[in-house]
Structure 1
Amino acid sequence: MSNSNLAQSGWNTTFLFVGAALVALGVTLSGGLGGSSGEIEEIGRMGEPYFEVFDSTKAVSLQVTAFDATSARPLDFEVQRNSQKQWVIPSHHNYPADAQDRLGATAASVMGMKRGALQTRWPEDHAKYGVVNPRQESLSIADVEGVGTRVTILLEDASEAVVDVIIGKKVEDQPSDYFVRAPEEDEVYITTLSNVDLSAKFSDWINTDLLEVQGGDINQVTVYDYEVDESEGTLSETEVSQLTREDSTADWQLEGLEDEELEVDSDALTDIISTLDNFEIAGVRPKQEGLTADLALDMERILAEPAVTRNAFAQRMVSEINRDLLSRGFRLQPGQSGAPDDISLLALQGELRAGTNEGLAYRLYFGRAFAGSQDDLEIGLSSEEEAASGAEEENVVETDTSEEQAGEDVETLDTPLELEPNVDESGDSEVDPDNQPGRYVFVRVTFDESLLGDRPEEPVQPEKPALLQAADETEEQGPEAPPAEKSEGKPETPPEDGGSCQEEPAEEPAEEPAEEPAEEPAEEPAEEPAEEPA
């Protein structure tokens, strides 16, 4: 090969390497510039707020969606402000929520959220940082552990949410920093959040203290022990036990207890008072339509019907109410008169009345005990679903009595105030979160003046001593005119002759005021001075 050929071949080889290098450089530049522009754009958003500062008092809706990895289901909780400016929980039969303080705390915890350092731009990393959107129709198994908590706040007269973010895991070794992203964005930023207060639990948004009573204020307890035949609707003989005490330091006294050798079981009373003091709400159900707030029939609704069909309408309404009540362990019992307003509520597990020294009487009607999941406890099933569920349980018991049913012992408790938690034999931990015990309870609160004790009598003014009465009478009569002074041994009128020169001036003034001057001064003080003060 000639030198020229070698030279040409060398240059060709050189050009090939240079061309390959240029192609590689072009690929690198195109890929690098494409990625860097996005990174530069996202890095340029560092320090930007996720949303504008807002007034939390203008909020009308707050929604918190989390994910329960144990049950593998989302927890979606929302509070709304209704037209009466009252915060309610739509998912829990519009039960009133104590949302004002918690809403303010939630708003404060997310207020001023800013994008910090950019962590990733790839959706594949969302599970790693715990920012997978919980509001999805389906989730992959790989994403279950990485689902975040989504918070949405809506203001009045606004079509779009003022706050909508997904809060993920905490940044390691930075307790106040979290991985956060907006639902419509793929980018994940590190964001500082102080005092994060987010909860999708029903119990965190209500006042769980059902009775709001202090045990020391209870001074009367009445237990109504009876049984109801569900099929016949008949009531067994009622045993009434009434216990009273003067105050929280006094002993309980059982009415009718005459045997001096017997005494009240103070430990049992202490347990009852403690239970009432700590009576907590586990869930709520809507009151049956047709019942008033005091658990009586809605007579206005009945009287609105024509007289011809009124009785039939009332009977049909009672039948529908009873069908729903019986599934929960209650029943309406008509009185002997048969009148629609002569009706009372009976509880399959009896009743208890607790009175306080403030005049409040709490009447608790204990219904059926049951076991279920957290949702079953909080919001329950529909009446039809509960009835079907109860029928299925009865069939299981009848067909296979050897199998132990979870939670079957809740019906055989000694008192309806007790509910044993579903725990393992060691009692260390709950073994079945879908089989937690609960009991239906109706609560009625009235005012009973007799609980306040004897009415205070109006104080009577004490009778004054005779000496003070005489003094008062003297003051009322006014001071008596002083008698004219006269010297002993002297006549009332001076003698005509024999007077001294000092007696002459006394006669002249006595005559002048008695005649002419006496009239003018008497008229002037009686008229002119009396008008000036007026």
Structure 2
Amino acid sequence: MEERKKTFIFGGVAIVLLLLAFITTPRTKTPNAFLDQGELFFPNFTDPNQATTLEVIDWDEETGQALPFKVEFKNGKWTIPSHHDYPADGKDRLAKTAAGVIDIRKDDFRTDNPEEYEACGVIDPLDQTATSLKGRGKRVTLKAENDKVLADFIIGKKVEGRDGFRFVRVPSQKRVYVVRMNIDISTKFSDWIESDLLKVNKDDIEQVILKDYSINENAGTVNQRDVLDLKKNGTKWVANKMAANQEVDDTKMKDLLTALDELSIVGVRPKPAGLSQSLSNMNKEGIHLGQADMVSLQRKGYYFTRNGQLLSNEGETQVRTVDGVIYTLRFGEVVYGSGVDVSAGAKSNANKDAGPGENRYLFITTEFNPSEFKEPPKPKNTGFETKADSLWSDADKENKKLNDAHKEWQNKMDKGQKLSQELNERFANWYYVISAERFDKINQKRKDLLKKKEEKKS
């Protein structure tokens, strides 16, 4: 009996000890810092087509300045407010960017200590209280209509040893995460605009005139060096003033036509409102300019002669197409600088001659040349239109042919005039900026495009 009692006592003590051990043994638990690991950054943002605004604030450590870039859909149009509201080709690109933002997750927690923000590169570029000019990240904000914020985050430095990962922080929060970033968030102006500037097909070009001249601004004189007139003759090109032993270099000509077809820009500047209005209506009313317009033109390298001819200080190129539209490309002053100084003309750039001069102003106008299409004779009458074609006389049949030919001519005239007007309205508001490389490809000389005829082998 006594032994059984002892057994119960020892058994009870063992159970108590086991309970105490269970209660006091440390349990494995997930630290609060990692509770949101793997979660989406913006779970309420699910539809990429909601995004109507993308704003990116980058940071230039050399100048200590924030660099803003913005694309938005407003009043039925996509524009780039950071670049004078230039028209943007932004819908598809913004939707693609938004889709990438929707998918970003909090892959790993790094820190919530503000003293480590600089090392991670996640200091808000808009934070005026931060004293450090280094360690500032790229702030990206996506908004829907009525300025509803869909996503707002700061992209920091690359994570060492983890390819494709960056540090990311939400501006209103302390926590910094390691995030896999597969998003192409471009702030390059040329990535957001219509790349086909002239909207011309090289196979439709029938004539190119290269006017090689320069203006002596101090003397007010024009140095006319050469006018090279190139015309398409079947499948070959011919030039004016060619010697008997010369011909157009087909390869160089193809390169010139391709350069015109693929002409793109690196920046824009708005023209004064009066100048823009006059240029958009130039086919109807001609050009009427005020003093402010003249000053604007001269600063960019463009001058009007006493007889109303617009000249540029580095010559011009004229291009005629099968539509009867003549494009005139006038090359102006050199544009100095880089980055936003070139693409938008940053107000902070006080010295206009600062930086490399690798770009140039381009001024574009068009006109329709009706003489390209000779008017055919009209039908003597259109009585055939009220008859069944089985009752047509020979005269009716002839009148039908004449009527069809005249309608075709009228359609060409209407198409060319409409195209020229639309192009002028598009080009009227802007001085364009092109790279030196694009300028050199178009601004060819006679010696570049002509070659000695190859001797025919007997």
Query: How far 1:110 moved relative to its partner?
Result: 0.8
2:320 corresponding residue in structure 1? 355
| Residues in 1 aligned to 2:68 and 2:223: alpha-carbon distance in whole angstroms | 45
CA distance in 2, matches of 1:331, 1:289: 18
Query: Which residue number corresponds to residue 55 of structure 2?
Result: 63
Q: Is the Cα–Cα contact under 8 Å of residues 303 and 311 in structure 2 kept in the other structure? A: yes
**Secondary structure at 1:263's aligned position in 2?**
strand
Q: Report the CA distance between 1:373 and its aligned residue.
A: 2.7
Query: Quick check: 1:136 aligned with 2:127?
Result: yes
> Structure 2 matches for 1:45-60, cutoff 5 A?
45-51=36-42, 52-60=44-52
Q: Secondary structure at the match of 2:122?
A: coil
Task: Give 1:267 shift.
Answer: 5.9
Distance 1:364 1:101 in 2: 30
User: By how many angstroms is 1:92 displaced?
Assistant: 1.0
Following superposition, the deviation at residue 352 of structure 1 comes to 0.9
- CA change 1:450–1:127 in 2 (3 A) is farther
1:367: which partner in 2?
Answer: 332
CA distance in 2: counterparts of 1:138 and 1:375, whole angstroms: 25
Please report how far the alpha carbon of residue 133 of structure 1 lies from its aligned counterpart in structure 2 after TM superposition.
1.6
Tell me the CA shift for residue 288 of structure 1: 2.4
1:241 to 215, 225, 228: 228
Choose the corresponding residue for 2:71, options 79, 83, 87.
79
2:209 pairs with 1:222: yes
The answer (yes or no) to whether the contact 1:109–1:196 under 8 Å persists in 2 is: yes
**Do the aligned partners of 2:122 and 2:154 also contact (CA within 8 Å) in 1?**
yes
Is the contact between residue 332 and residue 345 of structure 1 (CA under 8 Å) also seen in structure 2?
Answer: yes
Instruction: Kindly indicate whether residue 384 of structure 2 is the aligned counterpart of residue 442 of structure 1.
Output: no
How many residue pairs are counted as aligned between the two chains?
A: 354
- Asked if the contact 1:290/1:298 (under 8 Å) is kept, the reply is no
The alpha-carbon deviation at position 292 of structure 1 amounts to 4.0
CA shift for structure 1 position 43: 3.2
1:331 aligns with 2:319: no
1:381-407 deviations in whole A, cap 9, x for unaligned? 67xx99x856xx7xxxxxxxxxxxx8x
Unaligned runs of 5+ in 1: 1-36, 304-313, 336-342, 394-405, 407-433, 459-534
Q: Distance in 2 between matches of 1:156 and 1:58?
A: 8
Tell me if the contact between 2:283 and 2:367 (Cα under 8 Å) persists in the aligned partners: no
Offset, 1:235: 5.1
Counterpart amino acid of residue 318 in structure 1: G
Per-residue CA shift, 1:403-432, capped at 9, x if unaligned?
xxx8xxxxxxxxxxxxxxxxxxxxxxxxxx
State how 1:88-99 maps to structure 2 within 5 Å. Answer: 88-99=79-90
2:101 matches 1:101? no
**1:140 offset after TM fit, Å?**
4.9
- Rate the CA distance shift 1:116–1:376 in 2: closer, same or farther, 3 A: closer
Q: Is the 8 A contact 1:291 1:297 kept in 2?
A: no
Correspondence 1:346-425 to 2 at 5 A: 346-357=311-322, 359-380=324-345, 389=351
What amino acid sits opposite 2:291 in the alignment? S
Q: Bigger relative contact order, structure 1 or 2, given CA contacts below 8 A and separation 6+?
A: 2
1:444 Cα shift? 1.9
Q: Distance in 2 between matches of 1:202 and 1:449?
A: 37
SS in 2 for 1:361: strand
Percent of paired sites with the same residue: 34
TM-score, scaled relative to structure 2: 0.65
- 1: CA distance, partners of 2:315 / 2:278: 18
2:263 to 279, 284, 288: 279
* TM-score between both structures, scaled by the size of structure 1: 0.57
Measure the CA separation in 2 of the matches of 1:318 and 1:294.
Answer: 10
Q: Quick one: which amino acid aligns to residue 314 of structure 2?
A: Q
Q: Which residue of 1 aligns with 2:424?
A: none
Q: Specify the SS of the correspondent of 2:194.
A: coil
Provide Cα deviations, 1:49-85, integer angstroms capped at 9, x if missing partner.
32212433333321112234566543321112221x2
Q: Are the aligned partners of 1:370 and 1:439 in contact in 2 as well (CA < 8 Å)?
A: yes
Question: d(CA) in 2 for partners of 1:147 and 1:40?
Answer: 29
